[in-house]
Structure 1
Amino acid sequence: MPRLLGPLTQAVTYTRWLHLLIGAAIPLMGAFITPGLSSPSLVAWLQIALQPIPLVVAAALLLPSLRRAEGLQARLMLFPGQHARVPGDQEDSGISVAPSASWRDRGRTALWAVLRLEAGCAAGYVTVQCLGTALALVGAASSESGEDPGLLLPLPAPHPANALLVPVPILVLLGVMVVAGRLMTSAARRLLGPSPVERLAALEERTEQLLERNRIARELHDSIGHALTVAVVQAGAARAAADPGFTDRALGAIEETGRAALEDLERVLRVLREDGQPASRRPTLADAGQLLDSARASGAKVDTEVTGPLERLPGPVSREAYRMLQEALTNVLRHAGPVPVRVRLAVDETALEVDVRNALPTGGEVTGRGGSGLRGIRERATLLGGRATTGPRDGEWQVHVELPLG
């Protein structure tokens, strides 16, 4: 019983009922003009329901904004809110509020307009018949015979017991409106739902959001991970050296690296907040000197070879290459410590080559080298149409990246 009577206590039932009745507004206005509502016959009722069809079809085909109006009204009245939702309905109504972008959308809108018009006429007729029957039963219960109300169903003979039948047509009306509202909701999802073009655009937007989140996560991993690694290595080296001069240099390197990491963090947070402020410039490969100086300050002996103009690299290639080099140097400090490192940056007309090599830790241990950092290097290279290889080679650990410039 609660399951059957539950819809009667939900606001969505009555907003859907009202949505149906609004659909009969245009036929009702036409009925006042012709054929009139004094004593319409069955043919007159059909004329009332059918004569507005050309008008609504023409409006749907000629006015793309009609789809937006119908979508907004359907969202508000067929899906009025969480407090009035029908159990089982999804959070997303699945109704588009964009104007018609194609003739297919206009055709679907026209079908919806005709369906809503005819459903509104039917809902209005059923409402009048059921409410009229209930009122007629009240009159029949008073043992008074009046004029024929012109109802579809015959009335019983006047008797006080007819008062017990008064709730029946009202309950029938409510049941019909519950079913009709659910059917119209399902039809709205089909006819007013996003078109394939809109679904594709939404999918592309979602993909872009996911890619942006992955990029931000990689940048935070590279920047903050590099800063923490440098700080740990510098602090450990300063404590082991017990040299005030070395300690001052180590603290200076920690401060500089930490400041750069804070700038990266502030830039990423500004992007996430979307507060309208311009984001600070992202570092490029032309700023690689800071990374190399930071690694040298940590005790690593860095030998650098640069071939070609780094400042002429395309922006995306230069920025991503900077992060790859940063992650490669971070891995050296994290897993091998202050060991000799050879960095080669080569630029020609077609490609950029980044090669970082360092001696393997004592005993040739290479465990821990398969984490998210190296995976991020390979993902960055793949997104730019290049390739990256990592692993031991000739007694050294190598990170080799090739990125096309086209």
Structure 2
Amino acid sequence: MRSARIRKSLRALEHRNYRLYFSGQMVSLVGTWMQGLAMSWLVYRLTGSAFLLGSIGFLNSLPMLALGPVAGVMIDRWDRRKVLMTTQTLFACNAGILSALVLTNRIQVWHLFVITAISGLIMSFDMPTRQTFVADMVPDRADLMNAIALNSVLFNSTRLIGPAAAGFVVARVGEGLCFLLNSVSYLAVIAAFAGMTVAPPTERPAGHLAAQLREGLTYVRETHAIRTILMLVLITSFMGMSYQVLMPVVARDILRGDASTLGFLTSGVGLGAMVAGLRLASRTRAVGLEKQSVLGASLAGAGLIAIGLSRWFPVSLACMILTGFGFMTLNSANNTAIQTIVPDSRRGRVMSIYTTIFFGTNTFGSLFVGSLAQRFNAPVTLVVSGASCLCAGFLFSLHKADIRRALASAT
């Protein structure tokens, strides 16, 4: 009974391509998390500015706003495996340059902004392609939900290791080694993509790029379930997910800690998210995901409010775990619901719109949250962010029946 339950929770790994991807990402994501923490700590160490922390987040996501929808049209036309091999190679080069600048003590603040802008440009193609490619690696729609949940489990389990390791390395060696290790870690996922055999899409959009872009936007606008989910994504990404830019402020100025404190807080988010992902991985039905979205928004909002009120590390760590559980539940439910409802021929365009909203609104959210924290303080900003998530979850709950019907008709 127990072994059967475990096999059901890991059933997407029966697909060879997904198994290769999972293995490569297991290595690469640890490096990604190490770089994320090291970058935020480096910015705050060099500038001492919460606003500039938000500005870095803004710049990283800005290209997604400009290029995301256009990238979606191209993703529906191009070989997605080759696109991902290219983006991972470019990410590795970018991290390598950053590590060289830091290790040679030549790093300046403007370097960070340029490297972040380049990373955002690469990400505008990488993220929607990665979201769409899951369906290529796992062609059985019955296993798609499990693959998305396992992606989230992997993403957040490495979040337990990467930030904690980065906090240790930064505190004892410096940020440069984190960037170097991240650059090397990309080799694992590049090798995984190289070893895959993926059938080309059966349908490729034809016609002018602008016409295909309009078709995707029209589909989103006219599909009530997709539109409602994306509105929830917009609000929670803008005000909720942007809390991450304030974590160095919370760790150093509120909890009186160091880079290790930041690492533990970030790993707490990963722990909560991993538990939520494992819980979702055992689901076999898409119907009911609308309830998970409401649950996730509510728990994430409550967690952010509690973090804003806490001044004691153990309480803050527990709140981070709750916040991670909430956002993991929310984001995985939203992602899976959209991928379940949308037809394959429009998947790239719709998922690019999803990632544009998810990361693009986070662009302005990071800047807004950083500005709000600079104007008032980080605790007040976190409470406002949490309250916004609670309100968004309530508004979404008013449309649960419509989402449920769309999920039922698609499965």
Higher share in strand: 1
Higher share in helix: 2
Please indicate the TM-score interval, normalised by the length of the shorter structure.
under 0.3
**Taking structure 1 as the reference length, what is the TM-score of the superposition?**
0.24
